């Protein structure tokens, strides 16, 4: 059932949609679609940058393998590299 929530990011009121995943927000709050898309875009941008850094560190054979992977897989690997502590990053770019 659709819920009427306030966006914890931009403050707008919005109705949840089919497939909306509850966000880690206070009761009555969530993240609107526009902000979710924005976050995802930022996130992917960062992951693609990390992917490019990882690729630079690979030997020739692995670079060929990397180039054969689809974007989704590269982003997953980049995310894994971050959670393994091989790469550190933060929102808002480098510090
Ligand atoms: Zn929002």
- Per residue in 28-73, pLDDT (tens digit) is 999 999 999 999 999 999 999 999 999 999 999 999 999 999 999 9
For residue 24, name the pLDDT band (cuts at 50, 70, 90): confident
- Gap from CA of 19 to ligand 1 centroid (Å): 17
- Gap from CA of 92 to ligand 1 centroid (Å): 18
- Mean of pLDDT values over 1-21: 93
Nearest to 16 by CA among 25, 38, 91: 25
Question: What's the pLDDT score for residue 82?
Answer: 87
Nearest to 54 by CA among 18, 16, 89: 89
Domain boundaries, the chain: 1-31, 33-95
3-state secondary structure of 13: strand
Asked if the model's pLDDT at residue 93 lies above 90, the reply is no
- Gap from CA of 4 to ligand 1 centroid (Å): 13
- Gap from CA of 27 to ligand 1 centroid (Å): 16
């Amino acid at each position: 059932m659709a819920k009427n929530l306030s966006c914890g990011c931009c403050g707008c009121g919005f109705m949840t949609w089919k497939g909306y995943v509850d966000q880690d927000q206070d009761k009555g709050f969530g993240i609107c679609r526009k902000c979710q898309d924005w976050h995802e875009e930022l996130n992917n941008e960062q992951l693609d940058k990390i992917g490019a850094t990882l690729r630079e560190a690979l030997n020739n054979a692995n670079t060929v393998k990397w180039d054969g992977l689809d974007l989704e897989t590269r982003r997953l690997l980049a995310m894994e590299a971050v959670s393994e502590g091989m790469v550190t990053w933060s929102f808002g770019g480098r510090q």
